[in-house]
A and B are shown apart, each in its own frame.
Chain A
C-alpha cells in the first residue's frame, strides 16, 4: 500500500473527528485532494489558494537569503567601518561568515514565526471545524522580513499571538480580516516595545547585547547602526551611496533593504497576475507626488535648513523609493488582496494614498520615520469606504439608465 492510499484511509477514518483539520492541512500539503465537482461548473481552473500563496512566497526567498548576508555584513561594517560603493557581487558582502551569522539570527525568527502562527491557525481551525487556511503561509514568511534583526524571540511570539488572534482569527480567518496580519504584528511590536524597536541598536545583530555587556562592565567596543530614515530624521546626511541603497547594503528591517530584489519580486508578482500592478504603480506615483511637494516646499524657501523637517523634506523625491520599507511595503503588503481595495478603480485610489501618506508620515513623524506601515494600516481601514464609493457610482449608473425612460414616459403620457 502506497503513501497515497495510507493517507486516504486515515482521512476516511477521521471524518467527524476533531483532529481532521490538522491532518488535512498536512494531507493537502502532500496531495491535492480527490474532491470532484458536483453541479454547476464541472471543470475548475488549475489554481487554488495554496498555489496562489506559493507565488507570493517565491519572490520572498531571494530576499530572505540576501538578508542573511546583509545581517552579517551590517555587523561587520558596524564593527570594522564602512566601505563605499561595492558592486552587487562584491566579495565583502557575499561571504560565508556573513551568511552564517545572518542564518543563525534569521532562522530562529522564521521558525518562531511559523511555529507560533501556524499553531494558532491549527488551533482555531480545530475548534471551528474548518480547514487550515493558507493565508499564514505568506504572513509567516513576511514577519521575519519586516522586523529588526535583534527582535527578541519572546517579543515576536507575543506580537504574533496578538496579530493572528486579534488581527485575523476574531474576524473569521483568512479572507475576513480588516488589517494586514503581518503589519498588525509589526505595529504591535512597535507600539508595545517602542524603546526597543527604535533607536540605533536593534538594526544590527548583537548590538543590544553588546551594549548590555558594556554596562555590566565588560571591556568591549560598542557598535551600532542607524537606519537611513532614522539618520535623516535626526538631521544627519546620508552616508550611503545610491547604489548601496538600491542594492540593499544598508541597515534596516531584515528584508526591506534591497530595492533591487523587491523590484524583481514586484515584477514577478505582476507577471503571475497575483499582485495588483494597479496598487504598486499608484503607490509609487503617490509617493513621488508627495516627495515632489516636499521638495518644492524646500525650494520655495518655506522650510529652511535647521528646521527639524528639513533633511527629510530635502531628500530628492525619488530617493524615498529606495530607502526605508517603502518598496517592500508597497510590493508585498499593500497588495494583500484581502485588506486592499477590492475594486479595480478603488485600487488606484488606495495605492495612491498609501504612497502619499507614507512619505508624509516619514517627514512629519521624526520619532518613528517609517511611514509605510502606518500608511498601509490606515488605508486598510479605509479600503471598504473607497470600495463603497466606487460601487455607489456603478449603482448610480444603473439608476440613471432607469431615469430617462421614466421621464420619457411622462412626456408620452402628457401628449
Chain B
C-alpha cells in the first residue's frame, strides 16, 4: 500500500557548497583500501595473503561470525599491504590496482526466475551481501533471517547530500533487477521512498511499494520511514539497502560483474567547485580532493556533516558513502562567543541567535563545538527535531546507565545512531548522542542478540 509521508519535526541544515549537477571522472586512485572498521561489529578473517593477485569481486575476507558474509576486492590488482594494529587487529587492506581491470564472472541472472536461496547464495558469493543492512542494531544483515520487509530510502535529506535522483538517473534497469531480486528475500514488501516532487528513476519500477515523502531532515532516514510505514517490533527484522549499492547489485545481476564504481559528490564550503565524480569504493580521498580545495584549514569528512567520519588526506572513502564533505576547522577561540548575538550560526532557539529570521540562509559552519560538554539540562528541545514516537533524552539516558529492559521498552529496536544526529547538533549540553546510541545498540546486540 503506497503512502505519502509527511513530517513536520526535524531540521534542514542548509550549508554552503551544494554540488553542481555535473559529473566528472575522478583521478583514478593507485591503491584501493578496504577498512574492516567500516563494517560495524564484523571481525575479518582473511582469505588471501600479501602478494596475492586479485580480480574485482574476489573475496578478500569474510566475517568470523558468518562465513557467507564475504567482502570483495573492489578492483583487480595485487594485495600489497595489510596494516595491523594492537593485537594484530586488521586496520586496512591495500590493493594496488592493475591498469587493465579484470572481473570475476559470477554469471548474469534473471532475477524474476530466482528463488530466495539462490538470490542469497548469489549475492553472498559475489560479495554483495555487506550492502544489505538490518534493523534493529544497524549492522550487516544476517543471511539466516527472513526480514518482514525491505526498505530503501531514495531521498537524501541530510545536509549537502548527493541528490539520488541525479546520481541514479539512467540506472533504471540495474535498479529494477536489484529490487526484483531483493523482493524474493522477504515475504513482505520492498518499500522505496522518493521525494515528492522529484524525478526518481524508481518511479514506475515493478516489485516495489513506492512512497512519496516530504518534510525536513530526517525524513530521508530509514528509521523515520519505517516508523511511518511499518514500525519494527521486538523480534522483527527489517533490511535496508542504499540506492547506490542497489546499482552495483543490479549490474552484477545483469552482467555477472562486481563493478565497484559509484558516483559521489564532493561538497562543502571548503571545496572550490562542488560537483559529482565517478570513482570506486575504497578510493583514496586524496584522489578525489587534490587541488580542489581552498586554502582554509579543513576537515575532510567521508559522508555527511552529521554522521560522517573524520578522515585525513590519506583516508579512504568509507564503504557505504557516496559523499565527501569538506568544511573549515573551527579550532579557534571566540571572544565572548557565548553572549554575543549570533547571525552566522544555526540555532533552533532564539537566545540572541537570529537564524530563525533567515530560514533560507545558507551557512558556512565549522567544526567548533560552540561550547563545552555538560550534563543534560534542557528538556523538550530534542523533541522539536525528532520525528519518531520515542522519548529521545530518556532513551539516551537509559543507554548511559545501561538498563537493557528500559532501552528495549523505550524503542531501541527502532533507532540507529544517525537518528540522533540532529538532537546531537542542537544539544546545548554538547553530549555525543550518536556515540551513546551506538554503544547502547552494541550492548543490546551482545546481550540480547
Q: Which residues of A are at the interface with B, using a C-beta cutoff of 8 A?
A: 4, 7-8, 28-52, 54-55, 131, 133-135, 172-176, 271-274, 276, 337-338, 340-344, 347, 387, 391, 394-395, 397-398, 401-402, 405
Contact, CB under 8 Å: B13 / A131? no
Q: Kindly state whether residue B196 has any CB partner on chain A within 8 Å.
A: no
Residues in B neighbouring A273, C-beta threshold 8 A: 348-351, 381
Given the known interface contacts A31-B334, A33-B333, the answer about A342 and B379 at a Cβ–Cβ threshold of 8 Å is yes
- B89 CB to closest chain A CB (Å) equals 18
Binds A, one of B50-58, B259-267, B273-281, B306-314: B306-314
Q: Kindly state whether residue B206 has any CB partner on chain A within 8 Å.
A: no
Contact, CB under 8 Å: B338 / A50? yes
Q: Kindly state whether residue B16 has any CB partner on chain A within 8 Å.
A: no
Which of A30, A51, A172, A402 lies at the interface centre, i.e. has the most chain B CB atoms within 10 A of its CB? A51
- A401 CB to closest chain B CB (Å) equals 6
Q: Kindly state whether residue B92 has any CB partner on chain A within 8 Å.
A: no
- B179 CB to closest chain A CB (Å) equals 26
Q: Kindly state whether residue B421 has any CB partner on chain A within 8 Å.
A: yes
Contact, CB under 8 Å: A49 / B377? yes
Contact, CB under 8 Å: A172 / B428? no
A343 to B434, CA, bound (A): 21
Q: Which 5 A-B pairs have the closest CB atoms?
A: A48-B371, A175-B375, A32-B337, A46-B345, A55-B351
Given the known interface contacts A4-B335, A31-B334, the answer about A45 and B346 at a Cβ–Cβ threshold of 8 Å is yes
A39 to B425, CA, bound (A): 12
- A348 CB to closest chain B CB (Å) equals 12
Contact, CB under 8 Å: B337 / A31? yes
Contact, CB under 8 Å: B370 / A391? no
Residues in B neighbouring A134, C-beta threshold 8 A: 374
Residues in B neighbouring A54, C-beta threshold 8 A: 338-339, 351-352
Given the known interface contacts A273-B349, A342-B393, the answer about A40 and B421 at a Cβ–Cβ threshold of 8 Å is yes
Which partner residue on chain B sits nearest A344 by CB separation? Answer: B380
Contact, CB under 8 Å: B389 / A51? no
> Among residues 377 to 433 in chain B, which have CB atoms less than 8 Å away from a CB atom of chain A?
377-381, 383, 389-391, 393-394, 409-411, 417, 421, 424-430, 432-433
User: 5 A-B contacts, Cβ less than 8 Å apart?
Assistant: A42-B327, A337-B377, A338-B377, A340-B379, A395-B409
Residues in A neighbouring B434, C-beta threshold 8 A: 39-41
Binds A, one of B79-87, B109-117, B360-368: B360-368
Contact, CB under 8 Å: B374 / A31? no
Contact, CB under 8 Å: A42 / B409? no
Residues in A neighbouring B366, C-beta threshold 8 A: 36, 43
Contact, CB under 8 Å: A42 / B334? no
Contact, CB under 8 Å: A47 / B428? yes
Contact, CB under 8 Å: B380 / A43? no
- B178 CB to closest chain A CB (Å) equals 29
Which partner residue on chain B sits nearest A11 by CB separation? Answer: B333
Contact, CB under 8 Å: B334 / A32? yes
Residues in A neighbouring B435, C-beta threshold 8 A: 39-40
A48 to B368, CA, bound (A): 12
Contact, CB under 8 Å: A402 / B338? no
Which of A41, A272, A347, A387 lies at the interface centre, i.e. has the most chain B CB atoms within 10 A of its CB? A41
Quick one: which of B327, B329, B383, B424 contacts A344, CB cutoff 8 A?
A: B383
A401 to B414, CA, bound (A): 13
A30 to B390, CA, bound (A): 38
Contact, CB under 8 Å: A173 / B345? no
- B216 CB to closest chain A CB (Å) equals 15
Contact, CB under 8 Å: A36 / B380? no
Residues in A neighbouring B390, C-beta threshold 8 A: 394
> Among residues 287 to 315 in chain B, which have CB atoms less than 8 Å away from a CB atom of chain A?
299, 301, 305-310
Contact, CB under 8 Å: A36 / B331? yes
A39 to B367, CA, bound (A): 10
Contact, CB under 8 Å: B426 / A45? yes
Contact, CB under 8 Å: B424 / A46? no
Residues in B neighbouring A28, C-beta threshold 8 A: 338, 372
Quick one: which of A34, A52, A398 contacts B368, CB cutoff 8 A?
A: A34
Residues in B neighbouring A37, C-beta threshold 8 A: 367-369
Q: Kindly state whether residue B29 has any CB partner on chain A within 8 Å.
A: no
Which partner residue on chain B sits nearest A42 by CB separation? Answer: B305
Q: Kindly state whether residue B42 has any CB partner on chain A within 8 Å.
A: no
- A341 CB to closest chain B CB (Å) equals 8
Contact, CB under 8 Å: A173 / B375? yes
Quick one: which of A41, A47, A347, A402 contacts B380, CB cutoff 8 A?
A: A347
| A36-B299, A133-B374, A343-B394 known, 8 other contacts, Cβ within 8 Å | A32-B338, A35-B331, A35-B372, A36-B369, A42-B308, A47-B353, A342-B394, A394-B410
Contact, CB under 8 Å: A51 / B352? yes
Q: Kindly state whether residue B342 has any CB partner on chain A within 8 Å.
A: yes
Residues in A neighbouring B159, C-beta threshold 8 A: 43
Contact, CB under 8 Å: A44 / B372? no
Residues in B neighbouring A172, C-beta threshold 8 A: 375
Which of A34, A176, A398 lies at the interface centre, i.e. has the most chain B CB atoms within 10 A of its CB? A398
A405 to B377, CA, bound (A): 39
Q: Kindly state whether residue B358 has any CB partner on chain A within 8 Å.
A: no
Residues in A neighbouring B310, C-beta threshold 8 A: 38-39, 42
Contact, CB under 8 Å: B339 / A36? no
- B212 CB to closest chain A CB (Å) equals 24
Which partner residue on chain B sits nearest A405 by CB separation? Answer: B233
- B53 CB to closest chain A CB (Å) equals 36
Which of A35, A271, A401, A402 lies at the interface centre, i.e. has the most chain B CB atoms within 10 A of its CB? A35
Residues in B neighbouring A52, C-beta threshold 8 A: 349, 351, 377-378, 428
Which partner residue on chain A sits nearest B268 by CB separation? Answer: A42
> Among residues 120 to 174 in chain B, which have CB atoms less than 8 Å away from a CB atom of chain A?
159
Contact, CB under 8 Å: A33 / B369? yes
Which of B329, B390, B429 lies at the interface centre, i.e. has the most chain A CB atoms within 10 A of its CB? B429
A173 to B309, CA, bound (A): 33
Residues in A neighbouring B346, C-beta threshold 8 A: 45-46
Contact, CB under 8 Å: A271 / B350? yes
Residues in A neighbouring B368, C-beta threshold 8 A: 32, 34-37, 44
Contact, CB under 8 Å: A4 / B424? no
Contact, CB under 8 Å: A48 / B370? yes
Quick one: which of A47, A337, A342, A387 contacts B370, CB cutoff 8 A?
A: A47
Q: Kindly state whether residue B3 has any CB partner on chain A within 8 Å.
A: no
A49 to B375, CA, bound (A): 10
Which of B309, B349, B389, B428 lies at the interface centre, i.e. has the most chain A CB atoms within 10 A of its CB? B428
Residues in A neighbouring B335, C-beta threshold 8 A: 4, 30-31
Per-residue contact bits, chain B 10-32, to A (CB 8 Å; 1 contact, 0 not): 00010000000000000000000
Q: Kindly state whether residue B330 has any CB partner on chain A within 8 Å.
A: yes
Contact, CB under 8 Å: B337 / A43? no
Given the known interface contacts A39-B309, A274-B351, the answer about A49 and B371 at a Cβ–Cβ threshold of 8 Å is yes
Given the known interface contacts A45-B346, A48-B428, A175-B376, the answer about A40 and B417 at a Cβ–Cβ threshold of 8 Å is yes
Which partner residue on chain A sits nearest B347 by CB separation? Answer: A46
A48 to B339, CA, bound (A): 10
A337 to B428, CA, bound (A): 13
Per-residue contact bits, chain B 31-45, to A (CB 8 Å; 1 contact, 0 not): 000000000000000
